[in-house]
Amino acid sequence: MLVKDVEDLFKDGEAVVAMTGLNWDLAVNICESGDFLIVRMLLAGAVASRIEIALEDHMLTVSGTREEEALPRDAKYFRKEISGGAFKKSVMLPVAVGRDKVRAEYTNGILKVVMPKQGAVTKIGLRPA
């Protein structure tokens, strides 16, 4: 059975690696800078108007769609790692963030979300009784 499956992958000279958009491996960087938490996510090929960003508790969720590449009908792939369709990725934020003043920008295929960290630690002095 496995041998047949592997042979099917290579039939007609086509070796196609397929995956659904929901399984995209969306690379993410999360860092802090001063009073801000910054999340950068690689979304090459996505259209900005089709990207949705949601922030709930300590979870940032990014979802959207990327159009499938249009090729001539007789085109045959030898390798296919760029897929279109829906994508969604949720990341747990390492610190609490404020919902006000959150900003996002999408430039050259990279989404950047900047969020103010919530409630910086305040030292409370103890007065003698």
Output the pLDDT for position 27.
Answer: 92
Residue 13: pLDDT over 90: no
What is the per-residue pLDDT for 17? 39
pLDDT category at 20 given cuts 50, 70, 90 is: very low
Look-up of token digits 């009784």? 129
Does the model's pTM come out above 0.85?
no
Contacts of 110 (CB under 8 A, 6+ apart): 40, 41, 42, 43
Among 106, 109, 120, 108, which Cα is nearest to 37's? 120
- pLDDT tens readout for residues 52-89: 999 998 899 999 998 887 888 898 888 887 778 899 99
Closest CA to 89 of 122, 46, 121, 126: 46
Query: Would you state the structure tokens that stand for residue 12, as one six-digit string?
Result: 């007609």
Q: Calculate the CA dihedral of residues 34, 39, 45, 46 and round it to 10 degrees.
A: -110
DSSP letter, residue 30: E
Position 13: which residue type? G
Burial (CB count within 10 angstroms: exposed 0-12, middle 13-18, buried 19+), residue 100: exposed
**Lowest-confidence pick of 8-12, 14-18, 30-34, 64-68:** 14-18
**CA 83 – CA 55 distance, rounded (Å):** 26
Give the residue-averaged pLDDT of 110-114.
Answer: 96
Q: Residue 9: what pLDDT? A: 52
User: And the tokens for 125?
Assistant: 């002095």
What's the pLDDT tens digit per position in 82-95?
Answer: 778 899 999 999 99
Q: What is the mean pLDDT of the chain?
A: 80
Kindly list the structural domains of the chain, giving each domain's residue range(s) and its CATH number in brackets, ordered by start.
Answer: 26-74+84-116 (2.60.40.790)
